[in-house]
Chains A and B, each alone.
Chain A
Amino acid sequence: MNFCSQGNYDNMTNPNEPDIVAFCCHYSAYAWSQDLQNLPRLGFPENVRLEILPCSGRISIIRLLKAFEQGADGIYVAGCKDDTCHNVRGSRIAKKRVDYVKNVFDQLNIEPERIEMFMISREPNRGFIEAAKEMTMRIKKLGPSPLKGK
């Protein structure tokens, strides 16, 4: 399992797999955070690099943009379900910031699907793993970031 040190999103993963940076709130990742090293065994794609935030609402637009600028093929934020966010509206705030970056990508003729917000139940379930798998499949279809090789 790979972790980003804050602000450093240089690829450390297999170059043949899409490089995906995931910003996950402590609560939606909590069920797995006790045993993160075992995630690959449970089907969590190894190409997804995790950054755990105290709350998804802590994500900033610039961190999302910099992750992309520094080489990520895809980015996602995983937070609590809208109505059960531990910090009341953290995941709603995170979604607005993801939407802002989607709009920026659209204006730059970059596929907005390269960034996504997932709202995941805080109860132990596979949503945390499924979001990573869905994003990996999506980015595989889209191909490498248009910034690669430029």
Chain B
Amino acid sequence: MIVGQRKPIQEIIGMLKGIKNILILGCGGCATVCSAGGEKEVEILASIIRIDRKKKGGPVETKEKTLARQCDTEYLEELKDEVDKYDAVLSMACGVGVNFLADMYPKTIILPALNTSFMGVSEEQGVWSERCAGCGNCVLDKTGGLCPVARCSKHLLNGPCGGSQNGRCEINPDIACVWQLIYDRLKGLNQLEKLQEIFPMKDWSSSLHGGPRKIVREDLTL
């Protein structure tokens, strides 16, 4: 899933300065699963905004709504008859949702309430970590299913580096050296010979370096 976290309260309050009628819009997808921007978090943020305005003596109207997702036209269309009523929409989706709202409603101020962090997993309740960097050219078949692009601090394809110490990363000892994990896993699978293969220079044009990416599936388009 895409993992995000709410921006600091003062940053959100700062971007809402002068705005009196706000739609706080949650997302029922990843933002709900990572407890950053679902129905519950929408309710909490709306209350925080009202408390701040009440304290300052400034009027504010907050409407709370959560769509099934903010990354599909069919759900964003649910807003078409009401979006003009608000001075701004404060989206609690990831950056994808914020962008798509802005694309779809060009006359409405769209603001982000979250910082989109990474594509990752829920390790345990309240703990998330990155697993995929979305580089567009997956090498997981060669690395035992563990990604050196997302999980090696140096994104090394022919690791480990000399900073791998006791299975930990020298850049951040809180994280495991993914190349140690790759070695251990391939050893367990009797596939250590895979490490004999030298990765050539990676073509990063399928990653962000190639500019904004797009997929068109002719078999699906109408």
Contacts and interface: CB of A to CB of B under 8 A. Distances in A.
A36 interface: no
A107 B57 CA distance: 17
B145 to A, nearest CB: 34
A23 interface: no
Interface stretch (B44-52, B66-74, B177-185): B44-52
Interface in B23-61: 40, 43-44, 47-48, 50-52, 54-57
B9 A69 contact: no
Interface in B1-23: 8-10
Contact of A147 (B8, B10, B48, B55): B55
A104 B54 contact: no
Interface residues on B, range: 10 to 19
B43 A104 contact: no
A110 interface: yes
A60 B56 CA distance: 25
Contacts of B47: 62, 65-66, 69
Interface string A77-100: 000000000000000000000000
Residue in B43, B50, B51, B57 whose Cβ sees the most chain A Cβ within 10 Å = B51
B50 A69 contact: yes
A1 interface: no
Contacts of A60: 40
Contacts of B40: 60, 62
A146 interface: yes
A118 to B, nearest CB: 23
A108 B54 contact: no
15 contacts: A61-B44, A62-B40, A62-B44, A65-B44, A65-B47, A65-B48, A69-B47, A69-B51, A69-B54, A107-B9, A107-B10, A108-B52, A146-B55, A150-B54, A150-B57
Interface of A: 60-62, 65-66, 68-69, 104, 107-110, 146-147, 150
Given A104-B9, A110-B51, A146-B55, 8 more contacts: A69-B47, A69-B54, A104-B48, A107-B9, A108-B48, A108-B52, A147-B51, A147-B55
